[in-house]
Structure 1
Amino acid sequence: MTESIYAIGTVGTPWGEAEKALWLSQQSIKRSYLEHVASQLDAIPAGFQLVCYGQLDYRSFGASEYPLYAVKSKVWDPAKPSVLVTGGVHGYETSGVQGALAFLQQQASEYSQAFNLLVLPCLSPWGYETINRWNPKALDPNRSFISNSPVAESALAMAYVHSVSKHWLAHIDLHETTDSDNSEFRPAKAARDGTVNTNWNIPDGFYLVADTKQPAPDFQQAINEAVAKVTHIAEPDEQGCLIGEPVVQPGVILYDTKAAGLCAGMTNAAFVTTTEVYPDSPRSTPENCAQAQQAAIAGALDFLLKQP
């Protein structure tokens, strides 16, 4: 592991408004949310409806207005268990977005008789367009699923999800761990916060982050078994860890999702997981990573179908 010093700011001093403005000035639009994500939602299957649950107005940051979309079961049946799928909480993590869209287009109908389904495929469209972990205010949506959240991406998603249902059986949150975590995002976070960054080892492969308070090991195992048919599961490092956390079962680590303000902690679902796939692996492709995310959703739902 190596320490990395970021180009903006003074070591040991948290960023002020000047440093945040300098960081923002270095961001640029690299791809289109409307083209890659929103336009794909024209093809949702019968039995589902497209909902615009909010709008992000980032024109004052030199960007655009972004409509936020969800796809939900058209008939929400209180007698059915409800399952939430989220992607693009970190906009740069492409396979989560594309995996959620592929699931909607190819598989959601298969599960619609058994479950109420709600899919938010891209919570952070500005992050998607600029290939960024943060929003334009240099805030991380995936540490901001908290009461009175200062992050619009998180607050709008929470408000909508809670308005749809207070009772969720499961939540699958789709993420990636990338080489840019070490080259850009972790050093930037340390600089922003006035701390010193120590890079972690990037796991080569797919793994899951379960909730410390309710780890549901059989659920995690079933997802990894489904994904293993598509791509490889990450092996622990020499210390028996993935991203610095002890491996508690093959391909699974634990976080306290609510305490950390993670998206996966926004409900009280009994079955919760955060997927992580490594798109920079020489053994993977973008298509393969999206397929892994899709397999994770299907594996989770197949497991739930077998529960009493």
Structure 2
Amino acid sequence: MSHYEIKIGKPWGQAEREAWLAKQSIKRSYEEEVLTPLSEFKDRFTATQYGALPYNEARYPLWGLVTKQWQDDKPSILVTGGVHGYETSGVQGALAFARDTAASYENDFNFIIAPCISPWGYETINRWNPNADDPNRSFNGEGETEESKQVIAFVRSLGVELLAHFDLHETTDTDNSEFRPAKAARDGEAYEDWQIPDGFYTVTDTARQELAFQQAIIASVAKVTHIAPADESGRLIGAPILSEGVIEYNKGSLGLCGGFTNSRYTTTTEVYPDSPKVDDQNCIDAQVAALRGGLDYLKQHP
């Protein structure tokens, strides 16, 4: 049962948001788990501190990695992780790709990698930022949260046309036990559990479906971990299934990170870390496999 009191039609005011923030605490270290590993391979990329979160600028610098030997005649790929800070394999998957895998694709692509867009969320294991706003519903226009605003400005400052955007996420059991009940309480709306998909899936953009690209990602990930089957209603998280493990959202209208670029190919990966069939490393491997599958497809379909 949720410990949040839900008052239908009575959204939180500032006092309720501050009360929620007062209950949050640091549970892990952004410096140790993100910044230190990132520093170990900064020499292989052009590393840029593109900003810092105003909640604590010294603690939460924002870093992006850009291919060092950038070539304008190559297609460019954006990889984002940690839009939702609590989704661990999105962050660690982006770092693992930069460390171990990106080099094998640099003859074909330029890369821009923002591995942890929401470091406060990473440390406190939160979906929201300290203002109780969801960064992954704030990628409209120039950005509506500090997390979205700063990464949008960074990517746009590079002035490049993107071929593809991989946004690395997780769907967790805490979506039902913690974060969706909190959202219902915050917004004064009724709350109902949804069925958490048991396995990996992707979310494409309604405007840029590119189903064969999504299917290539699914095929690659299936070699590493299991793909989420349809629920009893034939859907995943309430959305119709387009193909095995693939659903779609209108990312632009929802303000999702995957919708802020004009890239032809965009995918949101969703790992399920609470399955008894997986462990932390398997979840990271699935994120890297998703990137490999998508990139291999793009190499074969220039």
> TM-score, normalised on structure 1?
0.95
Superposed CA deviations along residues 230-276 of structure 1, whole A, max 9, x for unmatched, are 00000001111000101111000000011110000010101100000
Does the 8 Å CA contact 1:9/1:19 hold for their aligned counterparts?
Answer: no
Question: Within 2, Cα distance between the matches of 1:22 and 1:40?
Answer: 34
The DSSP-based 3-state class of the residue aligned with 1:289 is helix
Does the 8 Å CA contact 1:84/1:168 hold for their aligned counterparts?
Answer: yes
Tell me which amino acid in the other structure corresponds to 1:300.
G
Q: Which residue of 2 aligns with 1:19?
A: 16
**Percent of aligned pairs sharing the same letter:** 55
Gaps of 5+ in 2: none
Q: CA deviation at 1:48?
A: 1.5
User: In the TM superposition, what are the counterparts of 1:1-308 in structure 2 within 5 Å?
Assistant: 6-8=3-5, 10-44=7-41, 47-59=44-56, 65-308=59-302
Does the 8 Å CA contact 1:5/1:191 hold for their aligned counterparts?
Answer: no
Tell me which amino acid in the other structure corresponds to 2:146.
A
Aligned Cα root-mean-square deviation (Å): 1.4
The DSSP-based 3-state class of the residue aligned with 2:267 is strand
- Return closer, same or farther for 1:148/1:8 CA change in 2, 3 Å cut-off: farther
Does the 8 Å CA contact 2:76/2:160 hold for their aligned counterparts?
Answer: no
Aligned residues: 302
Gaps of 5+ in 1: none
The DSSP-based 3-state class of the residue aligned with 2:269 is strand
Q: CA deviation at 1:45?
A: 6.7
Question: Within 2, Cα distance between the matches of 1:252 and 1:53?
Answer: 33
Which consecutive aligned stretches of 4+ in structure 1 deviate over 4 angstroms post-superposition?
A: none
> TM-score, normalised on structure 2?
0.97
Tell me which amino acid in the other structure corresponds to 1:126.
W
Does the 8 Å CA contact 1:6/1:191 hold for their aligned counterparts?
Answer: no
Question: Within 1, Cα distance between the matches of 2:208 and 2:54?
Answer: 36
Does the 8 Å CA contact 1:223/1:299 hold for their aligned counterparts?
Answer: yes
